[in-house]
Amino acid sequence: MSVMYRYNTVMLSRRSELKASRREVLQQMRQLGPWVEGTLVATARRCGKKNCACHHDGPKHPVLFLTWKEFGKTVSLYIPRAMEAEVRIWAEHYKKLKELIRRASEAQKQIIRLRD
């Protein structure tokens, strides 16, 4: 077996390996549910009722915000209690999506390198 033949065989199998990896990543992207960009921040607030314990040394109310950056400034969005579980899943999906983008990009760069 010539050196050149072996080299080509290795490159071909490496290329099909990369393409299989890319296919798998794209498949995972298609299966991913809705996502939302941002970081969830749990904090505590006083409510609007002046006679509530939270205004008189009692515990404050736990609240959840989604925060992200817009033009260098942090923006935050209050998450209604009823949507907390759902929004946590969307935020998880966003993290997963970013990881999939990174992996797909990495496979693409390696495919480009094989062209040398």
Q: Check residue 101 for interaction with Zn ion (CB under 5 A).
A: no
Q: Check residue 89 for interaction with Zn ion (CB under 5 A).
A: no
Return the range that interacts with Zn ion (CB under 5 A); candidates 26-34, 51-59, 74-82, 107-115: 51-59
Site string for Zn ion, 53-82 (x = CB under 5 A): -x----------------------------
Query: 54 or 87, CB closer to Zn ion?
Result: 54
Residue 57 gets the label, from left (phi > 0), alpha (psi -120 to 50) or beta, of left
Task: Tell me which of 52, 75, 77, 83 binds Zn ion, using CB under 5 A.
Answer: 52
The answer to whether 90 and 77 are in contact (CB under 8 A) is no
Contacts with 60 (C-beta within 8 Å, 6 or more apart), sequence order: 44, 45, 46, 54
Q: How far apart are CA 53 and CA 50, in angstroms?
A: 8
Which positions touch Zn ion (CB under 5 A)?
47, 52, 54
